[in-house]
Amino acid sequence: MKEIAEFDAGIAQRIAAAPLPTKKTLRGRKNVFVQLFRLIGINIRMLKVIAASHHR
């Protein structure tokens, strides 16, 4: 992956100014139980989409 210095000045400025995730956000991303809950939610949504497409 390119380093920030390799991008043009405008892109490097936008990357440097991007907000960083909070401690709470990082803790949620690393938590296995939160990941499992999100995975189950995504799978349920996919099943709903698939089921709806099969009934057409």
2-6, 9-13, 21-25, 34-38: lowest mean pLDDT where? 2-6
Res 33 pLDDT > 80: yes
Count of residues making up the chain: 56
d(CA 22, CA 34): 16
CA angle 3, 4, 5 (to 5 degrees): 90
